[in-house]
Amino acid sequence: MIIALAGRILRKEIVEYQGWFNAFLSYAMGGICFILFFDYCTLTNSGRTLVYKTKQEIRDCLSEINFRSLLKPALLLSGVYLLGIITIIRANFLYMDDIARSIEGYRGWYNFSRYISEVASIFIHADTNLTDISPLPQLLAVFILAISSVLLVYVMGNGKITTVRLLASIPLGLSPYFLECLSFKFDAPYMALSILASIVPFLFIARKKAFFLCSVLSLLIMCTTYQAASGIYLLIAIILCFQDWNGRKKPEKEVLSFLGIATFTFCFTMLLFKFFLMKPVYEGYAVNTMHPLHNMVFGILINLKNYAMIINNDMGTIWKIGIVLVCVLFIVKSICKSAQKKLLSFFVSMLIISLSFVLSYGIYALLKVAPYYPRTIYGFGAFLAVVCIYVVADYNKLASVAVLALNWCLFIFALSYGNAIADQARYAEFRVSILLHDLSCLYPHQDGEDLSIQLKNSIDYVPSIKNISKHYPVIERLVHKRLGRIITENPWDNEYIWSHFNYNKRERGYISLDLDSLNLPVVLDSYYHTIQSDENHVLIILKH
């Protein structure tokens, strides 16, 4: 109201201040609610009793876990994940944001409400100014992923851990989509932490108060590290409920009660995050505005349709066969091991598979502009991991062979991907070096006016990537060409082409004018590019 009144007095809109005011109001309201809840827990008898009982439940849950038994499995999977990304580490590739962060040292996670990533990065890098300390962040990510896989197997197996189940969980960290997360030198550990935070609450599943509290805290950690993991929590809850219902391990009333608690907790935490913690984002590739209520159902269906189509286009034939086979085995096992009526079990297992796939996309399905970058759909890897673990648990050897064969394909692709980005990086550096050499010859003086430089077209993928893409199309979405028109290619490449190679004669920022329309004279024509210029404007036409 104050901002609106000031706008009327000054006879102009104060949009910038409106945003800051709304953010301040949200934080203030969140702080007030926290203080009131804290006062209730510390100053009232019922509040202190609630705190005591919750603490006791948490202690009881933790005392029932043999943490020493989790050490060897965690080390085993750390080795598997490390071997899977060894080629990524060896490639030493500055992936997207890494380019600017290594040059400028900025953090920037705060802008996307990833507060834990913002703060944790200061401790990991031992400074507010970030520097490239790879492969330490990626090694941290590997360790966090290993713990996540072990806990997922532990939760789904009711405390039972086997080597086959551990290997079945590999898609959690080595799906083609999470490989993009592991490619980031700065972001990787926080993305992995979002997965771990989604699994931890289920260690407290036996006690309602402990489960609710740990779920809220863990989901807030997930939301403030990387929101792409938002569907994993409900995905696991659905599978655990199905296991208990299908085997009649618990009464239906108890199963529905747990599902209700998990669903309520998830919705409560998401609302808490949205109204008190989330900053509005209006950037083209990361808009967090939801569909309006009247268009919500239709918008969600469109987003899920696009999600399924993109995954279908990304997957190779071998992967598709393996995924379909694993899903069929999920249904067959559900029927064979069911304590319910077989026909009912068939329909429910079909429903669970479909619902789990939908949940794997998380809250992104609600957004008006839903993201489909590989790093934003790694929930699909969690979906595969959960299904694979379920299939190999106490079932026949054929199922284990099918699951391990699929995971072996994912493991091999991870190694191929790391080598592919190294090949593309070498080729891009070669092309950039030639280009900058020609520009330095045409414009040898380091002082003087800046040039308005614009790129047209882009370089091609190297032959090794073209070879991989014949069977695994997702490779072309994972590997960036590194040299191309900034408007159509990765915008961070602008930093790579110029700042990374210390070339400072170009005009800062984007050029709104299309230099191709000026019909500039050709000043250099080579095998790799053509340069047109009138001394002030430079158009570089890249050749494949």
543 vs 70: CA distance, rounded Å: 54
Q: What is the pLDDT of residue 16?
A: 44
318 vs 411: CA distance, rounded Å: 13
When comparing pLDDT for 513 and 60, which is higher? 60
458 vs 366: CA distance, rounded Å: 34
At position 12, the amino acid (one-letter code) is: K
The predicted model gives 87-107 an average pLDDT of 90
3-class secondary structure, 349: helix
Q: What is the pLDDT of residue 512?
A: 66
387 vs 431: CA distance, rounded Å: 44
The predicted model gives 326-330 an average pLDDT of 94
pLDDT per position as a tens digit, 407-435:
999 999 999 999 999 999 999 999 999 99
211 vs 54: CA distance, rounded Å: 9
When comparing pLDDT for 19 and 182, which is higher? 182
223 vs 229: CA distance, rounded Å: 8
Cα dist from 92 to 99, 103, 224, whole Å: 12, 15, 27
The predicted model gives 46-73 an average pLDDT of 88
Asked if residue 509 has pLDDT above 90, the reply is no
Cα dist from 527 to 153, 330, 463, 530, 543, whole Å: 55, 55, 18, 8, 8
Q: What are phi and psi of 84, to 5 degrees?
A: -65, -30
The predicted model gives 454-477 an average pLDDT of 92
pLDDT per position as a tens digit, 381-401:
999 999 999 999 887 888 899
The predicted model gives 3-9 an average pLDDT of 57
Q: Is pTM beyond 0.85 here?
A: yes
* Residue 118 contacts residue 225 (beta carbons within 8 Å): no
Asked if residue 493 has pLDDT above 90, the reply is no
pLDDT averaged over the chain? 88
Q: What is the dihedral of CA 317, 320, 322, 326, to 10 degrees?
A: -170
Q: What is the pLDDT of residue 100?
A: 85
pLDDT confidence tier of residue 107, bands split at 50, 70 and 90: confident
The tally of CA atoms less than 13 A away on the side-chain side of residue 305 is 6
Q: What is the pLDDT of residue 361?
A: 95
Asked if residue 511 has pLDDT above 90, the reply is no
Asked if residue 290 has pLDDT above 90, the reply is no
pLDDT per position as a tens digit, 146-178:
999 999 999 999 889 999 999 999 999 999 999
Range name among 239-248, 286-295, 485-494 with the lowest pLDDT average: 485-494
Q: What are phi and psi of 523, to 5 degrees?
A: -110, -15
Asked if residue 281 has pLDDT above 90, the reply is no
Q: What is the pLDDT of residue 537?
A: 85
Rg of the Cα atoms in the chain:
26
pLDDT per position as a tens digit, 362-385:
999 999 888 999 999 999 999 999
Q: What is the pLDDT of residue 17?
A: 45
Q: What is the pLDDT of residue 9?
A: 61
Q: Look up tokens 């599902």; give the residue.
A: 259
498 vs 482: CA distance, rounded Å: 12
10 Å CB burial of residue 336 (0-12, 13-18, 19+) is exposed
pLDDT confidence tier of residue 11, bands split at 50, 70 and 90: low
Q: What is the pLDDT of residue 171?
A: 96
Q: Is the peptide bond before 491 cis (omega within 30 degrees of 0)?
A: no
315 vs 481: CA distance, rounded Å: 20
Q: What is the pLDDT of residue 474?
A: 95
Asked if residue 141 has pLDDT above 90, the reply is yes
Q: Look up tokens 């989790």; give the residue.
A: 70
SS (H, E, C) 156-215: HCCCCCCHHHHHHCCHHHHCHHHHHHHHCCCCHHHHHHHHHHHHHHHHHCCCHHHHHHHH
The predicted model gives 515-525 an average pLDDT of 88
At position 321, the amino acid (one-letter code) is: I
Cα dist from 525 to 397, 498, 532, whole Å: 62, 21, 9
Cα dist from 4 to 14, 132, 137, 206, 239, whole Å: 8, 45, 45, 51, 49
Q: What is the pLDDT of residue 37?
A: 80
Asked if residue 487 has pLDDT above 70, the reply is no
pLDDT per position as a tens digit, 13-30:
444 444 555 666 666 777
Q: What is the pLDDT of residue 22?
A: 61
pLDDT confidence tier of residue 344, bands split at 50, 70 and 90: very high
For the chain, give me the number of helices (H) and strands (E)? 23, 4
Number of CB atoms found within 10 A of residue 399's CB? 22
* Residue 337 contacts residue 401 (beta carbons within 8 Å): no
473 vs 317: CA distance, rounded Å: 10
Q: What is the pLDDT of residue 401?
A: 93
Q: What is the pLDDT of residue 449?
A: 63
Alpha helices in 15-96 (DSSP H): 15-43, 45-63, 71-84, 86-91
